[in-house]
Amino acid sequence: MMQDERGDHAEPDEREHDAPAPPCPRTPVARTSAVPPGAVPGYPPTIGGDARLLTDAELAASIEHTLVHWDRASDLWLFGYGSLIWNPGLPTVESCRARVMGYHRGLYLWSRVNRGTPELPGLVLALDRGGCCPGIAFRLDGHSAMPHLQVLWRREMSMGSYRPAWLRCMLDDGRDVRALAFVMRREAATYAGRVSDDVMRIVLARASGRYGTTHDYVARTVEALRANGIPDVALEKMLERCSSEGVRPATTAIVRGVTDAHSG
């Protein structure tokens, strides 16, 4: 049914599963830093002028190419590794802890609207090659999935920073499925690569956009991963090391046990 892959939310190349979510109950923190922008090499970044919104025709061609082997009826899987875990934004019929091999999660995508500004860009998660990545796999009802996938495409693919791919995904209950995931395109103008701790400290302290701060985005993801029993130790250590706020206590798990059928 699915094609092989070979084929970490308005500038939505940065929309890695990042749509508006209810505010988190926490004390507001002033977004200030003792280090002025530009004082640390690499920040603010120089983002190439070739970044642009894809046309409707380009978006349509992308989704058609990705779904060419899907029969529009069979259920399909979507792999979440960032804020899709705590804010799916689309109806699902099942969710399950899962893992993909050959990729890892990282703050590799500059965000200039949703979690930052052109002057003080934020960072959001993307999958990059190497390692493995635990996350949550969501099963979508095949008969009703297409309109939601089209919305997802506008959210994730509007600037083409991701490469939609069908990845082999091992579910926690032993099932082996193909799941749709959005992988970082290293040639994209908004690819950040690995940034220094000095840059990360400024981003976490200052970057804020339409949907909130980079710090809140990262902290929510850290919480959700830990609450679901799949903590990202590297991401937690980075947050502890680079943020004065550190890591918040875990809240209620989104996926209870191995699987949890739900909708909405």
Domains of the chain by residue range? 55-194
Q: What is the mean pLDDT of residues 240-262?
A: 53
| DSSP structure string for 208-251 | EETTEEHHHHHHHHHHHHHHTT---HHHHHHHHHH-SS--PPP-
Q: Which residue among the candidates 5, 94, 156, 223 is catalytic per the annotation? A: 156
**pLDDT tens sequence across 123-142:** 999 999 999 999 999 999 99
156 part of the active site: yes
Share of the chain above pLDDT 90, in %: 65
The residue count of the chain comes to 264
Superfamily of domain 55-194: Gamma-glutamyl cyclotransferase-like (3.10.490.10)
Confidence of residue 239 (pLDDT cuts 50, 70, 90): very high
Confidence of residue 164 (pLDDT cuts 50, 70, 90): very high
Q: Does residue 247 surpass a pLDDT of 50?
A: yes
Confidence of residue 260 (pLDDT cuts 50, 70, 90): very low
pTM score, two decimals? Answer: 0.80
Q: Does residue 7 surpass a pLDDT of 50?
A: no
What pLDDT does residue 194 have? 96
Are 220 and 83 in contact by the 8 Å Cβ rule? The answer is yes
**pLDDT tens sequence across 43-92:** 999 887 666 788 999 999 999 999 999 999 999 999 999 999 998 889 99
154: buried, middle or exposed (CB in 10 Å: 19+, 13-18, 0-12)? middle
Torsion angle, alpha carbons of 76, 219, 47, 18, to 10: 40
**Which residue type, as a one-letter code, is found at position 242?**
C
**pLDDT tens sequence across 96-120:** 999 999 999 999 999 987 899 989 9
